[in-house]
């Protein structure tokens, strides 16, 4: 390593340091120098950083296929075009367009880094799909059409019956995921199991191709707030991981998620999971006809304030049913401007994202993965709810057979 004397930003942990170490290979290849705060940080980030030595920065909006990426921007021999991506060999990661999006990216706020993705999973033709499933841009045309409509739909008895069946599939899929979570398991393998399970039940995994989201569920690890993309990274002892599942079945969507410990987690993570779970639980208790949607945030914020945690403001709960996302908008923070009063027949999600540190977030270059701005951990729990004449029905409720939430017993 070559010593640098001026102040720079560490590429690994994004901290400003007065004395940095410059990567000698970057200098040798006449690339813009990359700096690290220590030898340990350099070694930890080497698998991703060394990709810079083989590629040049590209306009990722123009990326279509591996062949186009390689021929246009890397110039490797055509004989290598069929080389497969080996998740355990970072030398092959340059063949993954997802990884290419992170070339020269220095905005990581925590320790998590992107890993390669598996190929897009297929859905049989006999499965009934939402309107965005086969669109090249993943556009949900029915949602776009109703974007300016402020009305909150009242579901029909037939739709309620479909929602119950749809949400049961989602619950069973999430319970399946819960049984898989342990050190060494990849989030990609969890996504594969969820995908296959939902298909086996005759449903469609709603996230798949929604605005081009590449997987069938979201998996958000540690500092990831939401919309994490399942990849080949093995889960590690001490991680926390949120699994967010939505199912499309008989013309309706059902949405739920839970955050799980991976092996033994530290005390602050236990408190985070308990607090996030309590936020959802207490918010559900006030749901009934006549409740203002804006009051949900007040209940949640009161809990986080007592526990010195914060509520993410960028992402909210939402209406759901024939559309994946629709009215009402359900903020999880106090003093919000949410419009609407709960009425029998309203269906929506509550899904507060709770952070150990600051509430602000940033998005990775994949345009999906939202992470905490300070790199501290985030946790979330979600249910799909139906307002009834007398109160609320939790459509995605846990079953007697559901795996116990281990963190409640720690």
Q: What is the pLDDT of residue 38?
A: 79
Q: How many CB atoms lie within 10 A of CB 126?
A: 7
pLDDT tens per residue, range 340-376: 999 999 999 999 999 999 999 999 999 999 999 999 9
Q: For residues 32 and 153, give the distance between their C-alpha atoms in angstroms, rounded to a whole number.
A: 54
Q: What is the pLDDT of residue 89?
A: 73
Write a three-state SS string for 160-214: HHHHHHHHHHHHHHHHHHHHHCCCCCEHHHHHHHHHHHHHHCCCEECCCCHHHCC
Q: What is the pLDDT of residue 28?
A: 72
Architecture of domain 141-394: Alpha-Beta Complex (3.90)
Q: How many helices (H) and strands (E) does the chain have?
A: 9, 20
Kindly give the parts of the chain with pLDDT less than 50.
1-7, 55-82
Q: What is the pLDDT of residue 22?
A: 81
| 317-319: strand order across its sheet | 326-330, 317-319, 347-350, 383-387, 392-394
| 35-36: strand order across its sheet | 2-4, 20-22, 35-36
On whether the CB atoms of residues 238 and 216 are closer than 8 A, the answer is no
Would you give the distance in Å from CA 300 to the centre of its chain?
Answer: 21
Comparing CA positions, the residue from 276, 219, 312 lying closest to residue 407 is: 276
Q: What is the pLDDT of residue 73?
A: 32
- Taking each helix axis from N to C end, the angle separating 187-200 and 157-180, rounded to the nearest 10 degrees, works out to 140
Annotated binding site for Zn(2+): 244, 255, 318, 351, 382
Annotated binding site: 227, 244, 255, 318, 325, 351, 382
- pTM (2 d.p.): 0.80
Q: For residues 293 and 150, give the distance between their C-alpha atoms in angstroms, rounded to a whole number.
A: 14
Q: For residues 272 and 291, give the distance between their C-alpha atoms in angstroms, rounded to a whole number.
A: 27
Instruction: Give the torsion sign (CA, 50, 53, 59, 60).
Output: negative
pLDDT tens per residue, range 293-346: 999 999 999 999 999 999 999 999 999 999 999 999 999 999 999 999 999 999
Q: What is the pLDDT of residue 46?
A: 73
Annotated binding site for a protein: 227, 325
Q: What is the pLDDT of residue 408?
A: 83
Positions of CATH 3.90.230.10 in the chain: 141-394
Q: For residues 14 and 10, give the distance between their C-alpha atoms in angstroms, rounded to a whole number.
A: 5
Q: What is the pLDDT of residue 406?
A: 84
Cis peptide before 181 (omega within 30 of 0): no
């Amino acid at each position: 390593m070559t010593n640098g004397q001026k102040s720079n930003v560490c590429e690994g942990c994004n901290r400003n340091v007065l004395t940095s170490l410059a990567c000698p290979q970057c200098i040798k290849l006449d690339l813009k120098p990359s700096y690290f705060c220590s030898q340990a940080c350099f070694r930890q980030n080497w698998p991703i950083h060394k990709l810079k030595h083989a590629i040049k920065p590209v306009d990722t909006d123009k990326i279509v296929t591996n062949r186009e990426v390689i021929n246009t921007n890397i110039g490797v021999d055509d004989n290598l075009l069929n080389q497969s991506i080996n998740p355990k060999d970072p030398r092959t990661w340059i063949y993954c367009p997802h990884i290419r999006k992170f070339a020269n990216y220095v905005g990581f706020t925590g320790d998590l880094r992107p890993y390669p993705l598996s190929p897009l999973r297929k859905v049989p033709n006999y499965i009934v799909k939402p309107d965005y499933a086969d669109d090249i841009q993943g556009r949900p045309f029915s949602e776009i059409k109703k974007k300016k409509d402020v009305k909150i739909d009242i579901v029909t008895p037939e739709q309620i019956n479909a929602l119950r069946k749809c949400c049961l599939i989602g619950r069973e899929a999430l319970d399946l995921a819960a049984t898989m979570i342990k050190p060494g398991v990849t989030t990609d393998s969890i996504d594969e199991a969820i995908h296959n399970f939902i298909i086996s039940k005759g449903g469609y995994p709603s996230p798949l191709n929604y605005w081009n989201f590449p997987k069938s569920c979201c998996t958000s690890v540690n500092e990831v707030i939401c919309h994490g993309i399942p990849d080949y990274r093995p889960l590690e002892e001490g991680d926390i991981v949120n699994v967010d599942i939505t199912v499309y079945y008989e013309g309706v969507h059902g949405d739920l998620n839970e955050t799980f410990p991976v092996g033994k987690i530290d005390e602050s993570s236990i408190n985070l999971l308990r607090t996030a779970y309590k936020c959802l639980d207490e918010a559900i208790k006030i749901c009934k006809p006549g409740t203002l949607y804006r009051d949900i945030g007040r209940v949640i914020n009161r809990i986080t304030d007592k526990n010195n945690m914060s509520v993410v403001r960028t992402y909210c709960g939402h209406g759901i049913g024939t559309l994946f996302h629709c009215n009402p908008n359900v903020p999880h923070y106090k003093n919000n401007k949410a419009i609407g009063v709960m009425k029998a027949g309203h269906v929506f999600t509550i899904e507060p994202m709770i952070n150990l540190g600051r509430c602000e977030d940033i998005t990775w270059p994949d345009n999906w993965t939202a992470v905490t701005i300070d790199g501290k951990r985030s946790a979330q729990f979600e249910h799909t709810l139906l307002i009834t004449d007398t109160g609320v029905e939790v459509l995605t409720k846990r079953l007697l057979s559901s795996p116990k939430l281990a963190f409640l017993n720690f």
